Structure 1
Amino acid sequence: MLPELHPGHAEALLFDWDGTLVDSQYANYRAMADVLAPHGVTLQQEWFDARTGLSSADLIRTLAKEGGAGPDLPVEELVAARDVLFLANADRIEVHPEVAEVVHAHHGTLPMAVASGGARLIIETTMRHLPYQGLFTALVTRDEVRRGKPAPDIFLRAADALAVPPARCLVYEDSDEGIEAARAAGMAVIDVRPVTRRAP
């Protein structure tokens, strides 16, 4: 295990999904861009990549708010269509091996949860194709909380599901919104980007 990913004295580990446990960035971007295009919206990947911590619905609303799309986009319909496109390619998603090593090293010794701004159906379906089945005690998604990241709700709910105080949890994240959410929850956090985006 890479030393910069070692959990130290944490009593529970919380993992973001997209970009942290799995390399799904381009697949997520492509699915979102493809559903927005018929509405006359061109989604720039650089803009999308800078907001990876947002849920699909929040991302579309942010795009409209910032003037990149009209305010009358059918958000829920677009999210559903995006999910269908993404799921069609779920078997192509791969793990980030450096983070997967952390999961496998601590399975059975520390309680672990996936705490994601993504949708439960998407994560559960994608997980079936990956070596993560049965390794997590809990899965908490945007579907189960009132506020998504950067609010702390998802992480606080995951800590509650693991019955571990927030201050004793460690979060693995790959987005600014996720890191802000972890800190707002009173949790330590490791930014995995220096590892997962390291040039081969």
Structure 2
Amino acid sequence: MKLDAVIFDLDGTLVDSEGLYFESDRRFVERFGGVYDDEFRAECIGMGTLPFCRLIKDKYQLSETVDELVKLKDALYLETARGRIAAFPEMLKLVQAFSVERLPMAVASGSSLGVIREILSLTGLEPYFSHLYSSESVPNPKPAPDIFLYAARQLEANPATCLVFEDSQHGVAAALAAGMRVVAVPFVMTEKGKAQFANADLLFPGGMAGFTAEAVLDWIDSHYCLCEDCSFFEFGLCEE
């Protein structure tokens, strides 16, 4: 099987941001008299900025528009992240390895496009990604497949030959619904999410603590061929 493109989720996958998002989202929710605890947080991981703001607006019957809430949420997050956020070292190694092989790469995230751009700049990942896609650009957020199918179209890649990296159960569900293969590196492995994560093609059950670029590259070598027009599933069967 060919590998034509790699698509990464951003927060909790490429960059160590979930703790920062928890901090900023707690401040965001508390502004409206709400409580943002660990249980609520686990339900919201991978939800995306727009649906999260819609949820908060409905939950607390807010007079602010969704657009106003998105701007406030983004501002609080970037204020929290500046000077503190970093790329996961093993993910950076993996991105660099893909870059050497000239594999097309994209970011497909539930964050706002402006946030995606700034976070990539802050973490030094910006030079590796020219294809940036936000759920703002599609009708339905994850777990719907829209963002991944949109990314594949922009990359001119067959979804079946795309590989996705995700940290949330919503993201894994979206990638599989798009007909793509997925590597899951769970930020939180809840009882509710275990079944969905188990459907991933490659799962790191311990999350980023057990993730290595070498393990992923070894798995790719045994499951993909990088040759032109190759239809063999196992790399070792390729005549090249």
Check 1:73–1:176 CA distance in 2 against 1; reply closer, same or farther (3 A cut). Answer: farther
Alpha-carbon deviation of 1:53? 1.0
Aligned partner of residue 139 in structure 1, secondary structure: strand
Residue type at the aligned position of 2:160: A
Counterpart-to-counterpart distance in 2, 1:10 and 1:51: 31
Greater Rg over alpha carbons, structure: 2
Equivalent position of 1:104 in the other structure? 96
2:209 aligned with 1:198: yes
Q: Which moves more between the two structures, 137-146 or 49-58?
A: 49-58
Aligned partner of residue 105 in structure 1, secondary structure: helix
Per-residue Cα deviation, 1:43-66 (whole angstroms, up to 9, x for no partner) = 11332133211112312434576x
Counterpart-to-counterpart distance in 2, 1:64 and 1:99: 35
Counterpart-to-counterpart distance in 2, 1:178 and 1:192: 11
Counterpart-to-counterpart distance in 2, 1:100 and 1:46: 30
In structure 1, stretches of 5+ residues that fail to align are 1-7
Equivalent position of 2:193 in the other structure? none
Counterpart-to-counterpart distance in 1, 2:46 and 2:136: 15
2:10 aligned with 1:17: yes
Counterpart-to-counterpart distance in 1, 2:103 and 2:207: 23
Q: How many equivalent pairs are there?
A: 190
Q: Is the 8 A contact 1:114 1:140 kept in 2?
A: yes
Equivalent position of 1:85 in the other structure? 76
Per-residue Cα deviation, 1:36-88 (whole angstroms, up to 9, x for no partner) = 212110111332133211112312434576xxx32336333222112111112
Counterpart-to-counterpart distance in 1, 2:139 and 2:121: 27
Aligned partner of residue 71 in structure 1, secondary structure: coil
Equivalent position of 1:76 in the other structure? 67
Equivalent position of 1:5 in the other structure? none
In structure 2, stretches of 5+ residues that fail to align are 187-203, 212-240
Counting only pairs closer than 5 Å after superposition, residues 49-60 of structure 1 correspond to structure 2 as 49-60=42-53
Per-residue Cα deviation, 1:106-162 (whole angstroms, up to 9, x for no partner) = 114210000111111011112112221221241111221111111111101111111
Residue type at the aligned position of 1:91: G
Q: Is the 8 A contact 1:22 1:96 kept in 2?
A: yes
Counterpart-to-counterpart distance in 1, 2:174 and 2:141: 9
Give TM-score, length-normalised by structure 2.
0.72
Equivalent position of 2:86 in the other structure? 94
Aligned partner of residue 94 in structure 1, secondary structure: coil
Alpha-carbon deviation of 1:28? 1.0
Aligned partner of residue 107 in structure 1, secondary structure: helix
Counterpart-to-counterpart distance in 1, 2:182 and 2:82: 28
Q: Is the 8 A contact 1:51 1:175 kept in 2?
A: no
Question: What RMSD over aligned residues (CA atoms) do the two structures have, in Å?
Answer: 2.1
Check 1:178–1:199 CA distance in 2 against 1; reply closer, same or farther (3 A cut). Answer: closer
Give TM-score, length-normalised by structure 1.
0.86
2:138 aligned with 1:145: yes
Check 1:53–1:73 CA distance in 2 against 1; reply closer, same or farther (3 A cut). Answer: farther
Equivalent position of 1:154 in the other structure? 147
